Structure 1
């Protein structure tokens, strides 16, 4: 809409700190019109320093404003631990769009009526602060966080949404903080983790949020005197810095990078030196870090040196030594093929995969669920082919071969692009590469863009929280493969080959994902597998995605946050949810995967919609999910039978099925004869099984009964036409039906147990 927001110190009485909105000129989008100023906050300031003043929109669309403690020293103006006084010593969060449901600000000399208060701000309705009473009508409900001395530059990580701030210390310590809702960062009771000038005034039980990094005053490589908060690097050119927080010290000139886990830093190292760095920015074209040099009056770009960019990687695929026969992609000894159950969507490309564990094998730490552990030097190779004529494998072109290498501190990725001769592949530059191919699809010619990932883009998916290595896990590898012309369990083969440090449990009891087109599995299981493969690297506990839902395969649907889960960026459509049963339009995840554009998910590497994946999610939302809730089901039967109690573990009709099971199976909990059961058609030698929506079934047979007998799986051949209350009847032809006694059973898997 042409609006932009500015924080500045105005001339005139009181030298007010002013937050204003301006608009660009009608004729030039790069020029602001000073006559369009609308003042939002105009706070008089009695000192000349500690003005803070950084301004950023958060991922939630609200405006965040950093404020110093007004100035002088020792918080002599008494602003730092106050929420009912003025606009100092904290970070504000305001609604400049005045959305429905937002609140008016409390009256104050600095306040206008040109913004609103988000209703979930932490001090809305507060009546106490630091063990003392406050008048809720005088609370500055704009505050998001307090207890900051002079937050000099803040920035949101565009991936995780975390808000980083550099807070300038007084005489001892500078600090980096991660800002949390309602957080108190200690000033002036604390300076960093040390006592501050007002430590003795801290109320009993006072607890602040400590910095994730602090450094002492001085001039050494780990010292400084005035921090300048920085940015999180998410660019393409410097993969070594991907995900690191880059910041500086204005006085000492140190420019650092820092990584952290939770609330503590794990790595902190020097990048360069230049005094007078007053601020950081991001070049949106490729994510480069920009630095504002106040002393030299210039804007600079952070670039890698030859030593950091050229580290001796093999220039061609042949030079890697991975393949003894490059023409036929036959690997050298020690490099083994592997397959997975649910591939990541790769724009219609077909893939081959290999791995290598160095040393005397036994280099894999097996885990039933979650990421496995791997020895340093382990390598995974993935090769991509793309059909130039859809449906014709003979038209396939070799595109690229990728390497993922485990090292002491994590992983790095390399991409080799096959040339037009298709005889060799060459190392792609640090920043990646983009190419367009003409694909024949029936009578139509399609221009398909292919992205060869930068080394930073590799790390965008291969995240620490996901274990760095994707697809090489129990649920993905638990499938059958061919080894030495025999079909074997892949996990059993890994076990017998000695790759595991400790023996896993019985292979048959381990979880297994399924492919999207596996019609023998329930829609729920197929969707869970698809989301785990395509989304769980970021959407998981401690993951870097903004959307806080859990896509891991082992997480039950009802615990994942998917169903009616809140959307972080709803683009003004507040009634949207992650998944709304029965409603595709309001299901944000469906919209994200089925539409191109900047909000497309997954966000890295893909330029072609996954039609089969979209249809799978569509069917799940419209067919499986729109069942009555358990509460609705309880109410329905309670209306029919007075005083009926239907707690989940009870058995109202004493038929052996608890009420929750009857809810899922679609049977009547008040009528014992209405039971879920197998039906045998002797004349057709066929077993029929009712199959309610969202329920997964496994059929098994045995010649005997008993605790030690072996049960064999029965193949489900087809699904009959749907009948009332059911998705259909599963049927299975029974082999050896007239060869003596045989027993049959069904295992029922409810959604919570998937």
Structure 2
């Protein structure tokens, strides 16, 4: 009997510590057989395997080109059809040759002067109408000044020149600055840059994240919150710009017919905004104002009308028909929603608006189409939402356009046109360039009635057809007090899904998921009334979904229209009867959460499904049962060692683990790398807390009173995550499918911020405490300053110091009566698991010690673990230690 002095760190979900021991004992082992799930043949019912997706689709425009991540927009030199310039936020622009042999090269590199963070970067590019003779290229970007931690960002509009006789690329040293103003924040910089049919340069500018009329309703406070119109040719009769804000009067003039040239005062309704105190401070460059973040605009090539998308805050997204001098209301109005008590009159109404309650969250690219490539779209304005929905707007009477949502592509950034044929190109967050194509209608329609889908043998009782398997998850998504039931089915009886310990699984086409929503009908909630049943099916190119609304009798459900619908219900919460608005999602809304980054179905993954469920009177592992029944392409082993969320309401778990489970279930569908979010932090349970981008990170919504930090330990009132979860309305998170407050989650996160985080010591704090400044070089996680065989991160996990080799956490084997036990200190918030192997060779297989006391879950308080060891031949033991 003895201890082998070896420790090591392993990669994986968390940094792990392995402590090894060996014991000579006698063999004794009990194996409990797993109750098998009897897999039944699933015939697919009448759920469409290939649902109708409409006549429009998107294809990879340049499949041999590869990805262009960070691409924000397009620019095409006038009169040319052989190349497109793609603008990258990081500070570079790429030229793609459209010859038979597609190729790309660097066109312009400004990365040495571009401030690249969130919505700051290289934002727009436009070629002068006479580019072929003067070589002028105009660029709008976020420039940086300073060094180290003192970098300041500026909004800069500049001109570059392609030298005669060169290779067709502008000289980075030829920059002429038109204006250069300080940027108050990294977001809301807009940046659409286009020459209009009148030959003038138009530029959209955002509010700089400043939610006040201090800038967006001021004509003397800089270039914020509107559309500018400049004369870069300095035509005779056009006045020079007024001084201030880094203006270069030798680089442009102001069109004499700009709406604010010669203005003596300015106001809207009964609000007098500028009284004409200093005419030289007036920014006559403005063509229209009162916008939040006018992402992309487009001229109607036939009429010259200007149409613009304005990104909303938390409630509405706008399409505006731009009129000279018009005020579009921000920040007093968000669409037609008043944001103040002033009820300011006289602002321009949006041509079209849509609510975030639809599942759409941020309007992005747009293009006014005229041409013959798409005859059906001639005279239509196309626009997209960041969640992926793409719409066709056909102008009608003011405020009464006809809008049709036609196709979905998550992460659309901007529109452009292929100069060869006029077909529409779209950039996406993935870095791939897509082309809009029209194809014949194909596919099957969804049944009009839920009973016609063939999912249930008895619909009112929800008795599933053979092959449709019920399942449970660990941490349900909040759904306004609704109680949910879930099923899935794989086609046939021999198709399989591919399991991954972490990340998205893959599924055969024809896999079906069903989620059913019920509400308490009386109090207490022993009687439940059905509201909605949603169906998701895996196709050969993604997932498709539909929803069914139950009738008042509770015996049938009808297919929800493509665009979705709303209803009002009475329902019991845990404390009272409430009236709530319930949203039935439309077809494309399903794809807001069930995205490719999630593998399709959100919540159908290892951490959510790794739990014990009841099969008759037997409790068994859900994953193991499916493995034995043949649902996975390879059998699963040691599922107890795999990631598993806990219930956020489980008081036996640590606050941090419960909060992390809530964030994974409710936020990670969008908040993860590649997710559909404008705020980059990672909510996945497998991401270390210090790497999530939450703790102590400055909030992008601090300027509107939603907290200075994403999480400020000890201060929920200054933490944007808490404020957005605890506030209903425009700023509420999660933004989809909810109109009721999750009070338990609000209290959970408040307690975590107030009680846990102030006393939590991260690695950096631990290293600074133990290794002062003169030992700073020894703070690396992989170093072992005291030479005891444990590196710094291991010492941190075990709450030891890095400078005392005599003090070391270790497990010991002791005798208790007639048996041996493994004893060690079990620290709160750490996960400990004992494993064994029969030999120490590289091929030795480690298994969890299957005794009740060997529970790997983190505990609420420190304790001493005493793990009984079985009799038997020689065995080696190790302890796996992991942090939350």
Write the distance in 1 (CA, Å) between the matches of 2:851 and 2:374: 66
Residue 374 (1) aligns with residue 507 (2): yes
d(CA) in 1 for partners of 2:416, 2:475: 44
Query: Is 1:334 paired with 2:467?
Result: yes
In structure 1, how many angstroms separate the alpha carbons of the residues matched to 2:601 and 2:737? Answer: 17
Pick which of 378-387 and 556-565 moved more: 556-565
**Whole-Å separation in 1 of the counterparts to 2:502 and 2:855:** 31
SS of structure 2 residue aligned to 1:436: strand
Change (3 A) 1:734 1:319: same
Which of 430, 436, 447 is matched with 2:562 structurally?
A: 430
Residues 615-626 of structure 1 mapped to structure 2, 5 A cutoff: 615-626=747-758
TM-score scaled by length of structure 1:
0.62
Provide, for residues 368-403 of structure 1, a one-character-per-residue CA deviation record: whole Å limited to 9, x for no partner.
32112222222110111222345x231322221111
How many Å apart are 1:548 and its aligned residue? 1.0
Q: Are the aligned partners of 1:377 and 1:407 in contact in 2 as well (CA < 8 Å)?
A: yes
Which stretch has the larger CA shift, 417-426 or 121-130?
121-130
Match of 1:472 in 2: 604
Question: Which one of the candidate residues 570, 582, 598 is aligned to 2:730?
Answer: 598
1:517 and 2:645 equivalent? no
**Contact 2:369–2:379, Cα closer than 8 Å, also in 1:** no
What is the alpha-carbon distance in structure 2 between the residues aligned to residue 362 and residue 63 of structure 1? 47
Partner of 2:538: 406
| Residue of structure 1 equivalent to 2:767 | 634
**Native 8 Å contact 2:706 2:719 kept in 1:** no
Distance 1:214 1:367, change over 3 A: farther
SS at match of 1:383: strand
Distance in 2 (CA, whole Å) between partners of 1:164 and 1:337 is: 46
8 Å Cα contact 2:525-2:572 kept in structure 1: no
Q: Aligned with 1:712: secondary structure?
A: coil
The separation in 2 between residues aligned to 1:446 and 1:507, in whole angstroms, is 41
1:450-461 matches, cutoff 5 A? 450-461=582-593
Pair 1:262-2:430 in alignment: yes
| Distance verdict in 2 for CA 1:62–1:214, change over 3 Å | closer
1:443-592 paired onto structure 2 within 5 Å: 444-483=576-615, 485-504=617-636, 506-519=638-651, 521-572=653-704, 576-592=708-724
Aligned counterparts of 1:238 and 1:624: Cα–Cα separation in 2: 49
1-structure distance, mates of 2:775, 2:426: 65
Q: Kindly state the Cα deviation for residue 604 of structure 1 after the two structures are TM-superposed.
A: 0.7
1: CA distance between counterparts of 2:551 and 2:190? 54
1:459-509 Cα deviation digits (max 9, x unpaired): 221123222211112222222233465433222232232223345565344
Asked whether the 8 Å contact 1:154–1:229 carries over to 2, the reply is: no
1:518–1:526 CA contact under 8 A, matched in 2: yes
1:241 maps to 2:407: yes
The 3-state SS of whatever aligns with 1:241 is strand
Determine the C-alpha separation between the residues in 2 that align with 1:530 and 1:334: 31
1:549/1:249 CA distance change after superposition, 3 Å = closer
Corresponding position: 1:698 with 2:832: yes
Task: Kindly tell me the number of residue pairs found equivalent between the two proteins.
Answer: 577
Q: 1:356 aligns with which of 482, 489, 514?
A: 489
Deviations 1:389-428 (A, max 9, x none): 45x2313222211111222332222222222212222222
> Is residue 343 from structure 1 mapped to residue 511 from structure 2 by the alignment?
no
Deviation at 1:546, TM superposition (A): 0.3
Gaps of 5+ in 2: 1-116, 163-169, 183-188, 207-292, 302-364, 392-402
- SS state at 2:589 partner: helix
Q: CA separation of 1:541/1:702 partners in 2, compared to 1, >3 Å: closer, same or farther?
A: closer
Quick check: 1:592–1:600 contact (8 Å CA) kept in 2? yes
RCO higher in structure (CA 8 A, sep ≥6) = 2
Correspondence for 1:396 = 528
Tell me if the contact between 1:90 and 1:148 (Cα under 8 Å) persists in the aligned partners: no
Matched, 1:712 2:850: yes
SS at match of 1:579: coil
Q: Which runs of 5+ in 1 are unaligned?
A: 1-58, 81-88, 95-100, 104-117, 170-211, 273-306, 721-725
Distance 1:313 1:428 in 2: 10
Distance 1:436 1:226 in 2: 38
The 5 Å alignment of 1:267-346 reads 267-270=435-438, 312-346=445-479
1:353 Cα deviation (Å)? 0.8
- Structure 1 residues 133, 376: CA separation in 2 closer, same or farther (over 3 Å shift)? same
Distance 1:598 1:331, change over 3 A: same
Per-residue CA deviation, residues 405-459 of structure 1 (Å, 9 max, x unaligned), is 2223322222222222122222222232333333445774322332222223222
Closer/same/farther in 2, CA of residues 380 and 137 from structure 1, 3 Å limit: closer
1:584-608 C-alpha deviation (Å, 9 max, x unpaired):
1222112111221211111011122
SS in 2 for 1:327: coil
Report the Cα offset of residue 322 of structure 1: 0.6
Q: Give yes or no for the alignment of 1:663 onto 2:790.
A: no
Distance 2:125 2:780 in 1: 54
* Alpha-carbon distance in structure 2 between the residues aligned to 1:401 and 1:234: 22
Q: Within 1, Cα distance between the matches of 2:295 and 2:882?
A: 42
Q: Deviations over 1:533-563 (max 9, x none)?
A: 1111111212111011122233222322222
8 Å CA contact retained: 1:664, 1:692: no
Counterpart mapping for 1:123-138 below 5 A: 131=171, 133=173
**SS of match in other structure, 1:456:** coil
- Note if contact 1:247-1:255 (Cα within 8 Å) is conserved in structure 2: no
Is residue 153 of structure 2 the alignment partner of residue 120 of structure 1? yes
The Cα of 1:712 is off from its aligned counterpart by 2.3
TM-score by length of 2: 0.54
Between stretches 238-247 and 261-270, larger displacement belongs to 238-247
In structure 2, the CA distance between the partners of 1:78 and 1:652, relative to structure 1 (3 Å rule), is closer
